[in-house]
């Protein structure tokens, strides 16, 4: 959130701000204050990825038994080698097809990990899905969207070993970073970086 300028006057002798606010600046402040009243405080704090010199993720792929612990971003720059490792781990294991996973999804998972305060890896049920795999799953389940964001590398179905599914679902919703689905029968939470929606 940008700061509002207070004119040219600066700080007075007693540490008080001097100068006047323009009408536009007052409107900006009013909009910010009103917005904060409508959006939960936790959501406002989580709108941006928490700053860290290094962002890391841990995964365990339930279908292949593969594990990965990697630093994928350093000082705001994504690391190509780490992204390639993540892309491979999150591949469509049925078709053995790899697609680039959207870095925004990785940042969402990083933020979720920080919010859950856990050292456990994400247990991955589904990452990228090829169009053929998605069509096959959609034909056998009403819960699979025909135009799923999994096809675009923008969605993951996950669970976290030391957190209840409900905790993962609620924390994901509070991030307001995309779609969040709750699937207790299948024991996973769906997260994606599409428009914000919950089910």
pLDDT tens profile 46-61:
346 777 899 999 999 9
| pLDDT exceeds cutoff 60 at 36 | no
Q: Which residue has the higher pLDDT, 182 or 36?
A: 182
> Is residue 124 a contact partner of residue 61, using CB atoms and an 8 Å limit?
yes
Closest CA to 63 of 121, 120, 125, 122: 125
> Per the structure block, which two tokens stand in for 193?
């970086």
pLDDT tens profile 113-167:
999 999 999 999 999 999 999 999 888 877 777 789 999 999 999 999 999 999 9
> Is residue 110 a contact partner of residue 104, using CB atoms and an 8 Å limit?
no
Note the pLDDT of residue 1.
Answer: 39
Residue 12 banded pLDDT, cuts 50, 70, 90: very low
Give the C-alpha separation, 35 to 39, whole Å: 6
Closest CA to 105 of 61, 44, 149: 149
Give the C-alpha separation, 189 to 179, whole Å: 10
| pLDDT exceeds cutoff 70 at 88 | yes
Note the pLDDT of residue 139.
Answer: 85
Note the pLDDT of residue 48.
Answer: 62
Average pLDDT value for residue range 16-28? 39
DSSP class of residue 65 equals: -
| pLDDT exceeds cutoff 80 at 22 | no
Write the DSSP string, 129-178: --HHHHHHHHHH-TTS-TT-GGGGT-EEEEE-TTS-HHHHHHHHHHHTSS
> Is residue 97 a contact partner of residue 130, using CB atoms and an 8 Å limit?
yes
| pLDDT exceeds cutoff 60 at 2 | no
Q: Which residue has the higher pLDDT, 24 or 5?
A: 24
Note the pLDDT of residue 17.
Answer: 33
| Least confident span in 3-7, 82-86, 161-165, 167-171 | 3-7
Edge-to-edge strand ranges of the sheet holding 179-183: 77-78, 67-74, 54-61, 122-126, 155-159, 188-192, 179-183, 197-198
Query: Residue 51: CB partners within 8 Å, gap ≥ 6?
Result: none
Q: Do strands 155-159 and 188-192 pair parallel, antiparallel, or not at all (unpaired)?
A: antiparallel
What domains does the chain contain, in order, with CATH numbers? 1-38 (no CATH), 54-198 (3.30.1380.10)
> Per the structure block, which two tokens stand in for 79?
């690391």
Note the pLDDT of residue 73.
Answer: 97
Q: Which residue has the higher pLDDT, 143 or 196?
A: 196
Closest CA to 178 of 91, 74, 104: 104
* Single pTM value for the model: 0.74
């Amino acid at each position: 959130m940008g700061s509002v300028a207070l004119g040219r006057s600066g700080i007075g002798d007693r540490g008080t701000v001097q100068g006047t606010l323009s009408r536009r600046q007052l409107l900006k402040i009013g909009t910010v204050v009103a917005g904060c009243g409508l959006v939960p405080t936790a959501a406002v704090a989580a709108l941006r990825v928490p700053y860290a010199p290094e962002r890391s993720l841990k995964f365990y792929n339930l279908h292949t038994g593969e594990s990965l612990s990697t630093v994928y971003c350093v000082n705001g720059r994504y690391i190509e080698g780490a992204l390639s490792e993540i892309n491979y781990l999150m591949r469509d294991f049925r078709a053995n097809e790899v697609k680039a996973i959207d870095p925004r999804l990785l940042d969402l998972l990083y933020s979720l990990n920080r919010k859950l305060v856990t050292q456990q890896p994400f247990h991955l049920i589904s990452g990228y899905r090829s169009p053929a795999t998605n069509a096959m799953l959609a034909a056998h389940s009403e819960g699979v969207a025909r135009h799923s964001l999994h096809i675009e590398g923008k969605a993951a179905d996950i669970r976290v070993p030391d957190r209840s599914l409900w905790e993962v679902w609620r924390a994901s919703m509070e991030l307001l970073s995309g779609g969040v689905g709750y699937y207790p029968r299948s024991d996973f939470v769906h997260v994606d970086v599409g428009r914000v929606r919950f089910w």
